């Protein structure tokens, strides 16, 4: 799978947040990394047909480090490379003015987070801070220009070459987003009950894998977690146990529900899920079987990557579960689901009567109905399972530092971005991540 422009901007935002939450003991290194970030941002904005008016600083650009700011500079540069290598047909996406403004706003917001990290890690009298504040003001102006808040449009799906993210842990985010997008693109009228059963199985698998990752992060002596982070992971594990128990009941209920539709189903969601599962298996397993906590979480940076993966997986799983819940409600209202006749008779005695009276046979063992009372068990268990996933996702967002970011969502109502303050560190983020119909 190729990394898209949208995927790389998401990776850049995560690197920026990581930089904001980290500490740089070497002031010269943080300034060199910022010069690299600013240079990459200038180049990126040129491809988006705009530029920073503030003149470059007096320092000569130097090579960036392997810290979060250095990774941010490289990721912003990689995203700009995707724009640079498009052919004339794909480059037509750059002619859509609203999408250009949205992309400029996201790049500026990401760079603004990196600038805040530099302010936090340099002294007041450090040379260049006045220039930095001038750049910040200009970045804020660009970041606030996107009044539409509807995503990157055609720019978001631009890609080039092979996968840009080779680490299994880093590949989880785009694969989870793809799994979610495929599910939310399915039309209600084409959904079969077997596909709803498959979705339940997919969600249970993802929930079990996330539970396993969270357990290993907690068990590893190298994770470097503080008391609050350990508590949050425990809450996530408890919520996932609740989800698993409720989703088992959903799975059992599906065995007693049939669809009246025939014909081929939509296997795209299963294909996307298998790609995601393969990436998770690559992360969790080696030739000898499951990795031990020490192997999976060998150092603090691995723990950070895995916490980000937990956040991405639970966010996508929550969206898929919500979409499934809406599909079930629509199918019930449309009268597309069957129930056993004896269950329907408990709601409406008419199902026990013989059609037309006389000696004709009773109605079939399975009857189709749109009465919500016949599906109380199924809808109740679906709601409780979705609520458990929502609780786990909300806690994962807080743990990963994305609690208040406006993220692209499958929900029918688009949420606008708001100021973010991390509960643990108190760090504020004035950036935004553009929302849209697909994450």
> For residues 202 and 305, which has the higher predicted lDDT (pLDDT)?
202
Please spell the DSSP secondary structure of 231-266, one letter per residue. HHHHHHHHHHHHHHHHHHHHHHHHTT--BS--S---
Res. 409: pLDDT tops 60? no
Strands 366-369 and 420-421: unpaired
pLDDT higher than threshold 90 for residue 389? yes
In order of 66, 74, 112, 305, 318, the CA distances from 172 in angstroms are: 21, 20, 26, 10, 16
Mean pLDDT of 345-360: 54
CA distances from 333 to 77, 235, 323 (A): 50, 35, 15
User: Which pLDDT band, with edges at 50, 70 and 90, does 169 fall under?
Assistant: low
**pLDDT tens-digit map of 25-62:** 888 888 888 888 999 999 999 999 888 887 776 555 55
Q: Quick check: 374 pLDDT over 90?
A: no
Better-predicted residue by pLDDT, 326 or 130: 326
Domain ranges of the chain: 5-157, 168-400
| Structure confidence at residue 168 as a pLDDT band (50, 70, 90) | low
Residue 148 pLDDT greater than 80, yes or no: no
Angle of helix 300-333 relative to helix 168-184, nearest 10 degrees, comes to 10
Lowest-confidence segment of 51-60, 262-271, 382-391, 394-403 by average pLDDT: 262-271
Q: What percent of the chain has pLDDT over 90?
A: 21
| pLDDT of amino acid 313 | 93
Q: Tell me: the pLDDT tens digits for 63-80?
A: 677 788 888 999 999 888
Q: Which residue has the higher pLDDT, 356 or 303?
A: 303
* Mean pLDDT of the residues in the chain: 78
pLDDT band (50, 70, 90) for residue 251: confident
- In angstroms, the CA 358 to CA 175 distance is 59
**Predicted pLDDT of residue 243:** 94
Instruction: Answer yes or no: are the C-beta atoms of 38 and 58 closer than 8 Å.
Output: no
Judged against a pLDDT cut of 90, whether residue 369 lies above it is answered with no
Strand 289-290 to 285-286 pairing: antiparallel
Between CA 46 and CA 84 the distance in angstroms is 10
Burial class (CB in 10 A: 0-12, 13-18, 19+), 128: middle
Task: Say what percent of the chain tops pLDDT 70.
Answer: 75
Tell me the average pLDDT across 353-357: 50
Can you give the pLDDT at residue 304? 83
Q: Is the predicted pLDDT of residue 86 greater than 50, yes or no?
A: yes
pLDDT digits (tens, 9 = 90+) for 235-249: 999 999 999 999 999
Query: Is residue 114 over pLDDT 80?
Result: yes
Of 117 and 258, the structure prediction assigns the larger pLDDT to 117
**Interval 176-230: pLDDT, tens:** 888 988 888 877 777 777 888 889 999 999 999 999 999 999 998 888 888 989 9
Q: Compute the average pLDDT of residues 303-325.
A: 90
Q: How confident is the model at residue 424 (pLDDT cuts 50, 70, 90)?
A: very low
DSSP summary character for residue 289 = E
pLDDT for res 203: 94
Which distant-in-sequence residues (6+ apart) come within 8 Å of 334 by Cβ?
Answer: 188, 370
């Amino acid at each position: 799978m190729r990394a898209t422009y949208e995927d790389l901007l998401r990776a850049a935002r995560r690197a920026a947040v990581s930089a904001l939450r980290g500490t740089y003991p070497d002031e010269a290194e943080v300034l060199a990394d910022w010069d690299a970030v600013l240079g990459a941002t200038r180049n990126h904005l040129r491809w988006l047909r705009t530029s920073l008016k503030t003149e470059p600083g007096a320092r000569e650009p130097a090579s960036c480090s392997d810290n979060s700011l250095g990774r941010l500079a490289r990721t912003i540069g990689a995203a700009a490379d995707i724009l640079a290598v498009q052919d004339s047909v794909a480059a037509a996406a750059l002619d859509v003015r609203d999408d250009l403004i949205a992309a400029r706003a996201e790049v500026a917001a990401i760079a603004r987070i990196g600038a805040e990290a530099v302010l936090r890690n340099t002294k007041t009298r450090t040379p260049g801070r006045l220039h930095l504040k001038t750049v910040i003001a200009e970045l804020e102006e660009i970041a606030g220009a996107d009044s539409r808040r509807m995503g990157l449009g055609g720019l978001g799906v631009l890609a080039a070459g092979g996968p840009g993210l080779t680490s299994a842990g880093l590949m989880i985010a785009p694969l989870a987003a793809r799994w979610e997008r495929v599910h939310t693109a399915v039309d209600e009228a084409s959904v079969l009950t077997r596909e709803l059963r498959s979705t339940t199985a997919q969600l249970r698998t993802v929930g079990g894998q996330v539970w396993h990752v969270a357990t290993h992060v907690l068990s590893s002596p190298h994770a470097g977690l503080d008391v609050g982070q350990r508590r949050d992971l425990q809450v996530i594990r408890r919520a996932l146990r609740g989800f698993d128990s409720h989703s088992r009941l959903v799975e059992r209920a599906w065995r007693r529900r049939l669809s009246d539709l025939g014909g081929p189903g939509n296997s795209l969601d299963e294909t996307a899920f298998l790609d995601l599962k393969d990436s998770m298996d690559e992360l969790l397993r080696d030739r000898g079987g499951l990795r031990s906590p020490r192997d999976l979480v060998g150092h603090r940076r691995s723990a950070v990557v895995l916490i980000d993966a937990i956040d991405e997986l639970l966010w996508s799983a929550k969206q898929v579960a919500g979409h499934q819940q809406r599909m079930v409600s629509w199918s019930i209202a449309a009268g597309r689901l069957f129930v056993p006749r004896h269950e329907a008779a408990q709601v409406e005695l008419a199902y026990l009567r013989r059609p037309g009276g006389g000696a004709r046979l009773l109605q079939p063992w399975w009857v189709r109905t749109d009465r919500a009372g016949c599906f109380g068990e199924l809808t109740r268990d679906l709601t409780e399972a979705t609520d458990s996933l929502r609780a786990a996702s909300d806690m994962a967002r807080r743990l990963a530092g994305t609690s208040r970011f406006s993220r692209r969502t499958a929900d029918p109502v688009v949420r606008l971005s708001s100021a973010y303050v991390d509960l643990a560190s108190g760090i504020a983020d004035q950036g935004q991540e553009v929302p849209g119909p697909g994450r």
